[in-house]
Chains A and B, each alone.
Chain A
Amino acid sequence: MRKIVVVGYGPAAHRLVEALLERGFDGAITVIGEEPRPAYDRVALTSYLSGVAAEELSYPVPPGVVTRLNSRVTGIDRRARLVAVEGGEPEPYDVLVLATGSRPFVPPVPGAEHAHVYRTIGDLDAIRLAAKEATDGVVVGGGLLGLEAADALRGLGLRTHIVEMSPWLMPRQVDEGGGAVLKAHIEALGLSVHTGSGVQEVVTGHDGRVAGLRTPAGTLIEAQVVVFSAGIRPRDELARESGLALGERGGVVVDSAMRTSDPHVYAIGECAVRDGMVYGLVGPCFTMAEVAADRITGGGATFDGADLSTRLKLLGVEVAQFGAMEGALDVTYMDPVAGVYKKLFISDDAGTLLGGICVGDASPYGTLRPYVGKPLPAPPADLLFTGGGAQLDLPDDAQVCSCNNVSAGVVRSAITGQGCADVAGLKACTRAGTTCGSCVPMLRQLLEKAGVETGKGLCEHFEHSRAELFDIVRVRGIGTFSQLIAEHGQGRGCDVCKPAVASILASLHHGHVLEGENAALQDTNDHFLANIQKNGTYSVVPRIPGGEITPDKLIVIGEVARDFGLYTKITGGQRIDLFGARVDQLPQIWRRLVDAGFESGHAYGKALRTVKSCVGSTWCRYGVQDSVGLAIALELRYRGLRSPHKLKSAVSGCARECAEARSKDFGVIATEQGWNLYVGGNGGFKPRHADLFAADLTTEELVRTIDRFLMFYIRTADRLQRTSAWLESLDGGLGYLRSVIVDDALGICADLDAHMERHVAAYADEWRATLEDPDKLSRFVSFVNAPGVPDPSIVFETERDQIKPVVMS
């Protein structure tokens, strides 16, 4: 069996392993990493300081892969094909892949040993610790990494300075004009920018602590935290010691197959040098990993340099650069008031797009980057103002996702050949849009161009999306489906739009779902307040908040099931499901349950289902909070809340997470200090772990945050879009969600809060209300002309002592 050893466990190593497995590699894979954790997303590193746990950033270790963490490789014996590991067994290999990455460049100035660098989670922990006793911080380096570090210091509450050697910021991505606009943005945030300045020394006080940074001009910038973030150097020492060819300025030399001078050794990522270039962006590093994996598994892929285009948001400012940074002709648009600078470089005949720069508004980037080297698709001025919009027809070979090297042709064939019908499908199928996300608008455009409904028009009856219909109903105060379709739609609706509008009306008006003409909008489950099963019978689920139930109530459920001959099963949501009821039996079953103190569990509705809980601190010796009490309170607060899709929740009383809260739409995990809130989790067809949204909340803060999360989801999600897909479809993702429901960026929080209060106040049990209304009750018959006759098509046989449906074919 062939054995691959990977030295270094960063994103490139992770992608290599994934790519090997995708290509069916069936040998052994061992990854040796220095850090105490598997590879993590360095692009999202700043989010670690704002509370996102290290595990959230980590890429999952693929099954079957052996990892040796906390392990330093000390040498390579290329003749014996052995890797020496400090303090451990040597690792034999058939193929060795060096993915050792880079180290931040630290200029050799006096005091440099007291400065920090910004690359690993360990570095961030050290910076956070130092910032606790500091008021000012300075970052050396005004490039992409430097500004990220500056953002981190600012996030830690420090007055922040940026020192950059070049005359303007981000000299690799923008020109002087763009740099000036960028500087204005950053200074407006309260940061101090010192361009055209180097570093003389890191100054320490009498106590040995860092006191500031002295520039060559003699200026002292007072700061207690100094971070060097001024470029990277490939980590090539293993290659050097083992005699592999190195580049003039370092880095392991590779050919277009990512092979080093030893055919058994590959190098990928930031430690590799190809044609004299070291690539520090994640996109090219992923491409190198794919090429190496392809070669190792017998393919013929090549790496011949990479697109260095970037689009990012640093300190809240959008910056993008694509293609060349010079051209025979250029067209510039500048608005100093709005802080927008856009420039296109074009060929001397004004026919070919060569490149472009955007600061403050990067919207043209997604559309224009694929046109680099191709004829201009529209007049330059139009492109700068609008980015050309959706009118452009991308050639098949145009690159849409530069992080994952996905062309327009590949996206198109995923749409037409593999049936991808939305952005989430394209992400899963092609990887496009999964790294930096800047091409997501482009994916949406390609879907639209291919004639795929991208959630805009609900169906043939409405040209509006669900979110738009929600606003129309809310703002115009529309009370019925008939009014809505007469004024804003056409025809008489269908099984797609009717339940969607029914849900919107229920969310806004809080009336009974069977009231008036609403009854005709409901899916059969909502119509009969029970879940239809394959033989046309229904199942009944009473609410058991938090999964807590008294023995007396358990006995009632058992008696009801026995008396009506129902099949009984315990659900995954800590409730009991009673199957096999005919429509005419439903009211009788509810009567018994309601009399015993039960109410509808809404198992049939696109609504809150359950809030599952572990037993919590009341009984559990590990529990730190009362998870059962909170779960019951949450379930009672949100019961009956109609939403675009079903909602599930759970509360765990400690970090052991027995309630599996991270697989829920909103999950809560107790901490010593309070509650951590996770959102957007999902089990089911496409599992997704929920994202940590906020940490150590008080119960009051937690409830307010969930209120807003749910209401914002209800208002803006597509029909049948679970919170996980909704969150992934939000431009700006979790950060945007935080800005809306924590920082109130849209000014809607008071409205969301009031909306939830109305829901809580208006809640009424739908079963009880139906039992009290003879008109509604009269519909619960099998036959309108023979109310007492049971449906003769419903037949059961017995299996494991319970009924089982027999469907006549």
Chain B
Amino acid sequence: MTWVNVCGYATLLPERGVCALVDGEQVALFRTHDGVVHALGNRDPFSGAYVLSRGIVGTRKGEPTVASPLHKQVFSLVTGHCLDEPSVAVPVYRTRVDGGTVSVSVSV
């Protein structure tokens, strides 16, 4: 597994996403209220636009989520599944926070 450092943990605003370019992949990173960092593919599968990092972060029945900024479909930050249309999902990537630095792994 290859870890790529992307940014300082403090750069991530609580409940707001950023996008990182990791090995040519666009990765949407989110820091939730409890401090956990989640990573999803940045591409919104409904519109084809690379925008998920700019969605609103929240919860649905306790599960952390992001809503696409284009047409508001909600995705689980944990599983990548679209909660409005369960057959659709985006990739989920591993993250870690080490010494104040956030790293992502896009390899499986």
Chain A interfacial positions (CB closer than 8 Å to B): 460-461, 482, 491-495, 497-499, 517, 519-524, 527-528, 532, 534-536, 779, 782-786, 789, 791, 793, 807-809
Contacts and interface: CB of A to CB of B under 8 A. Distances in A.
B58 A534 contact: no
Contacts of B32: 492
Nearest 9 CB-CB pairings of A with B: A495-B67, A524-B69, A494-B58, A536-B49, A784-B18, A495-B56, A520-B15, A491-B59, A520-B16
B47 interface: yes
Contact of A491 (B6, B22, B54, B58): B58
B5 to A, nearest CB: 8
A494 B49 contact: no
Contact of B59 (A492, A532, A786): A492
A783 B51 contact: no
B13 A494 contact: no
B56 A499 contact: yes
B51 A519 contact: no
A107 to B, nearest CB: 66
A523 B56 contact: yes
Contacts of A492: 15, 32-33, 57-59, 64
Interface string B27-60: 0010011000000000100011111001111111
A494 B20 contact: no
Given A519-B13, A807-B48, A532 B54 contact: yes
Contacts of A785: 5-7, 20-22
B62 interface: yes
B97 interface: no
Given A492-B58, A784-B18, A793 B50 contact: yes
B106 interface: no
Nearest to A805: B49
- Chain B interface residue number, banded: 35 or more
Contact of B20 (A461, A528, A783): A783
Given A522-B56, A536-B49, A793-B49, 13 more contacts: A460-B60, A491-B61, A492-B64, A494-B74, A495-B72, A524-B55, A527-B16, A528-B54, A532-B51, A534-B49, A783-B26, A786-B21, A791-B50
B13 to A, nearest CB: 6
A585 to B, nearest CB: 15
A535 B49 contact: yes
B33 A536 contact: no
A807 B54 contact: no
A784 B29 contact: yes
Contact of A807 (B14, B47, B62): B47
Given A520-B14, A523-B69, A784 B51 contact: no
B54 to A, nearest CB: 4
A520 to B, nearest CB: 4
A706 B59 CA distance: 38
B70 interface: yes
Given A519-B16, A785-B21, A495 B50 contact: no
Contacts of B47: 534, 807
Interface string B62-80: 1011010110101000000
Contact of B19 (A494, A498, A528, A784): A784
6 contacts: A492-B57, A492-B58, A495-B58, A517-B13, A520-B57, A785-B6
Contact of A493 (B11, B20, B48, B59): B59
A808 B70 CA distance: 15
Contacts of B55: 495, 524
Given A519-B13, A520-B13, A528-B54, A784 B70 contact: no
Contacts of A786: 20-21
A645 to B, nearest CB: 16
B85 to A, nearest CB: 16
Given A494-B60, A494-B67, A783 B49 contact: no
Contacts of B49: 534-536, 793, 807
Nearest to B15: A520
A521 B6 CA distance: 24
Best-buried of A498, A535, A785 by chain B (most CB within 10 Å): A785
Contacts of B58: 461, 491-495, 497-498
Given A520-B15, A520-B57, A528-B54, A784 B7 contact: yes
A784 B72 contact: no
Contacts of A532: 51, 54, 69-70
Nearest to B54: A524
A581 to B, nearest CB: 14
A536 B57 CA distance: 18
Best-buried of A498, A536, A791, A807 by chain B (most CB within 10 Å): A536
Contacts of A527: 16, 54
A488 to B, nearest CB: 16
B13 A783 contact: no
Given A499-B56, A520-B57, A494 B50 contact: no
Contacts of A536: 49-51, 54, 70
B48 A498 contact: no
A522 B16 CA distance: 10
Contacts of B51: 524, 532, 536
